[in-house]
Each structure stands twice: as structure tokens, then as C-alpha cells.
Amino acid sequence: MDDGVDILMMASTTTMKSFVSKTSSSSALRNTKKSSSSKRVFSVRAKAGQSEMGTPFSTWVLQQEMKDNIDNEHAIVLQSISVACKQIASLVQRAGLAGMTGLAGEQNVQGEDQKKLDVISNDVFCDTLRLSGRTGVIASEEEDVPVAVEETYGGNYVCVFDPLDGSSNIDAAVSTGSIWGIYAGDSQCVPDFSSESPAEVEAKCVQNVCQPGENLVSAGYCMYSSSTILVISVGDGVFGFTLDSAVGEFIMTHERIQIPKSGKIYSFNEGNYDMWTPGLKQYMDSLKTGGKETGTKPYSARYIGSLVGDFHRTMLYGGIYGYPGDAKNPTGKLRLLYECAPMSFLAEQAGGAGSDGTGRVLKINPEKVHQRVPFFTGSVEEVAYLESFMK
Ligand code: AFP
């Protein structure tokens, strides 16, 4: 067994023990969030200043509830998402064996070919969120319009997601990922199935979904790669959890991720260079002579073509990821709601930045559900340098 596996196994064993010993009190805490015993358990850990590394995801979610970072309903939505991610991870791993590669034979509303796994992953995400009973409206990259969850199951939260981003990579077994963002529902805008027409319900769903990223209450992604890693923020730092398939649980492996302030890696589809603005071309050229420190080592290019993989690397190593607008697609390719806003939320929580080239992505008020925006994210100094060429 190599060291990495060894460490993970040890972490799982230790944390599973603490998980088991806390489970009985944790489930009681769900309904009595402010009980004195729950506060005591949490404050002992906090005072001890212990590292949270090795904490199982489900325990971490309960701790966020005890800290008042999230409420009980939000906690249930996050647990449901982690279950959906485990199911998709298993599907992605088996895709080649189970005949799930290739096209489903349909296009989504944006005119993109749907892969079989896009469709299946969308069903997994939708069903899991519906059955959680805590989401009122869900909006997916794969659906034409946001959907109100049936009244019997309805809850307060609005969840926007791209169930399997980067799926054009699937047949080559390259990294893919799920991305999601969670908003509190608009209390002035609750769909009423008994008295409203389907068109009225739909209009209310769109209004619930079209919120600026700065309203996000949490966001995250799960990367399906050599390991399955779930990265999340509930507005108090960014944490990463690696799936330990031996116990079927995400275990904390990245505590309070911080994006380096600068980094000499750029991640753009440079094949589009000819269609870029003169300012952007000038920026790109400058990276090859050291960027703002002209004459120093050139930047390195890294581009997977799968946002979650490219973003994850950028979070850990620093640098910049960009998908600009160009002469053919002035607003670029990436979707504001399912890709750019959640990733910007995570980037800012990790001390980085998310920009459309002129300002913060989180400030943008969506006008439509599948809106696209130019997107630049990563190290705060690298994003500022890029912006200086876009004025
Ligand atoms: P697919 O889901 O169609 O593979 O698109 C992936 C994606 O939205 C994002 O994950 C990538 O960063 C970007 O598109 C890659 O686009 P290009 O192929 O145009 O570089």
C-alpha cells in the first residue's frame, strides 16, 4: 500500500470511529439545532483548534448546521447532492463497460448534443433533489426551463446545476464534473399549483432562479477523475472531500483551500485566438514573455476542456482559467447560472476572483436561465492583470 492510500485509510478509520460515536447525537440535533449538548460538542472541537482533516462530509454538514452557517433544510439538500455525486461517480466509472458512452440522440435547449450520461446524470440529480423534499425549484443545464418541485415534496431552496459538465470528454475517460449552486427561494414568488396555470408557475420558477450569484447560500462541484473530489463552500471558506470508496463516504482532504495570489499557468482554448479582441490577444501574447514581469519565465499552458478539472487545478496551483467572448460568440460559451456564478462564489471564498473581464461575475443579474457570459477566474492578481487589457 503506498503512503497516500495508507494516509487515506487511516483518516477514514479514525473519522469513521468519530462519525459512529457522534451519529446518535447528530440525528437528534437535526430537530433541536440549538440544544446545549450540540453546542458543547462543537465548541470543544473549535476551542481545541483541531484540524478538521479526515472529517466525513455528512459530519461536516452537521457541524455547519451547529455553527449556524446553514439551516436544517439546507443541510438535507447538501446531503442529497453528495448522494447524487456518488451515484454519478459510479456511473462515470462504469460508462465504458455498461454501454453508456456515446450520444443519447437528442439535443438540449442550447442546441448541444446530449450524451447518454448527460441524460442519466440529470435524472439522478433531479430525482435526488426532488426526494430530499427540501428544494422548491430546480434548474438544470439539461432542461429547457426551471421546474417547480411538486407541492407534496416542495421545500424552500432553489438549486441550479449542471449534472455532468465536460461530458464531451467522457468517451476518452477524461475528467468531468457536476456543478451546483443553491439559493434561498423568493418568498414573494412561491408557485401555487392549485390556482395558477403552468405558464404562471413557470414564470415564478424563472424568477426564483434568476438571482445574482452574490445571493448564493452555497455552491460546489464534484470532479470525477483519478479520484472523486467534492469541493464546497457554505460561505465560510472552501473545503474539499475525497470519496473513499472503501466506506462510501467523502472524507475531508482539503481544509480551507486558498488560491495562490498569483500563478504562472493559463488555461484558455487558444484555438479561438484569431476571433479574440486585440486587447485579449495582447494579453495572451504577454503571458509568453512572463506577463506583468516582462522578460521572466513564460507562463505554462494547461487546458483540459472540462471546466471542473481546469478550475480545480487553478484553485490548487494558482493561475488563470478563461473562456472569453469572441467574434463568433460574444458572450463566450459558459453558462452564468450553472458554471460561472458557482465557480466565482468558490473562487472568492478561496481568496481568488471570478470576472467577466470587466467586473465580478457575482454582481451580474441573470436575464435568462441559460445566459452565457465571458468568464475569467483564478488567482486574484492574474484576474486583475487580465482585466487591465479588457478596458
Ligand atoms: P461539454 O459539456 O460539451 O464537454 O462542454 C464543456 C464546457 O462547457 C466546459 O466544461 C469547458 O471548459 C468548455 O466547455 C470547453 O469548451 P471548448 O471545447 O470550446 O474549449
Give the model's confidence band at 202: pLDDT under 50 very low, under 70 low, under 90 confident, else very high: confident
65-121 pLDDT, tens digit each:
999 999 999 999 999 999 999 999 999 998 777 666 666 666 666 666 666 888 899
Question: What distance in angstroms lies between residue 336's CA and the mean position of ligand 1's atoms?
Answer: 14
Residue span(s) of the chain under CATH 3.40.190.80 come to: 265-388
What pLDDT is attached to residue 103? 64
Torsion of CA 117, 120, 122, 126, to 10 degrees: -160
Going by CA atoms, what residue is nearest to atom 1 of ligand 1? 166
Atom index in ligand 1 nearest the CA of residue 165 equals 2
What pLDDT is attached to residue 37? 45
Going by CA atoms, what residue is nearest to atom 15 of ligand 1? 305
Atom index in ligand 1 nearest the CA of residue 271 equals 20
Mean pLDDT of 175-194: 82
Mean pLDDT of 122-129: 92
| Cα Rg of the chain (Å, integer) | 21
Question: What distance in angstroms lies between residue 313's CA and the mean position of ligand 1's atoms?
Answer: 16
Stretch among 59-68, 80-89, 200-209 having the lowest mean pLDDT? 200-209
What pLDDT is attached to residue 116? 82
Concatenated DSSP letters of 230-289? EEEESSS--EEEEEETTTTEEEEEE-S----S--SEEE--GGGGGGS-HHHHHHHHHHTT
| Alpha carbons 132 and 134: distance in angstroms, whole number | 5
Q: Among 110, 121, 161, 165, which is best to mutate for testing ligand 1, by the most ligand atoms less than 8 A from CB?
A: 165
Residue type, 114: Q
CB 140 within 8 A of CB 162: yes
Give the model's confidence band at 187: pLDDT under 50 very low, under 70 low, under 90 confident, else very high: low
CB 112 within 8 A of CB 67: no
CB 344 within 8 A of CB 179: no
Q: Among 306, 321, 338, which is best to mutate for testing ligand 1, by the most ligand atoms less than 8 A from CB?
A: 306
Residue span(s) of the chain under CATH 3.30.540.10 come to: 57-257
Question: What distance in angstroms lies between residue 176's CA and the mean position of ligand 1's atoms?
Answer: 10
What pLDDT is attached to residue 22? 32
pLDDT over 90 percentage in the chain:
62
292 φ, ψ to 5°?
A: -70, -20
Question: What distance in angstroms lies between residue 344's CA and the mean position of ligand 1's atoms?
Answer: 17
Q: Which residues contact ligand 1 via a Cβ below 6 A? A: 112, 165-169, 269, 305-307, 310, 333-334
Question: What distance in angstroms lies between residue 141's CA and the mean position of ligand 1's atoms?
Answer: 13
Stretch among 146-155, 206-215, 292-301, 304-313 having the lowest mean pLDDT? 146-155
CATH of domain 57-257: 3.30.540.10
Of the candidates 251, 257, 262, 269, the residue with the CA atom closest to the CA atom of residue 297: 262
Stretch among 120-124, 219-223, 312-316, 373-377 having the lowest mean pLDDT? 120-124
Q: Among 170, 225, 333, 340, which is best to mutate for testing ligand 1, by the most ligand atoms less than 8 A from CB?
A: 333
Atom index in ligand 1 nearest the CA of residue 321 equals 12
Mean pLDDT of 319-335: 97
Going by CA atoms, what residue is nearest to atom 13 of ligand 1? 305
Place of cell 483551500: 257
Question: What distance in angstroms lies between residue 334's CA and the mean position of ligand 1's atoms?
Answer: 8
Question: What distance in angstroms lies between residue 169's CA and the mean position of ligand 1's atoms?
Answer: 9
What pTM does this model have? Answer: 0.85
231-261 pLDDT, tens digit each:
999 999 999 999 999 999 999 999 999 999 9
Residue of 221 and 132 predicted with greater confidence: 221
Of the candidates 211, 176, 210, the residue with the CA atom closest to the CA atom of residue 93: 176
Give the model's confidence band at 48: pLDDT under 50 very low, under 70 low, under 90 confident, else very high: low
CB 139 within 8 A of CB 149: no
CATH of domain 265-388: 3.40.190.80
Stretch among 123-132, 223-232, 240-249, 354-363 having the lowest mean pLDDT? 123-132
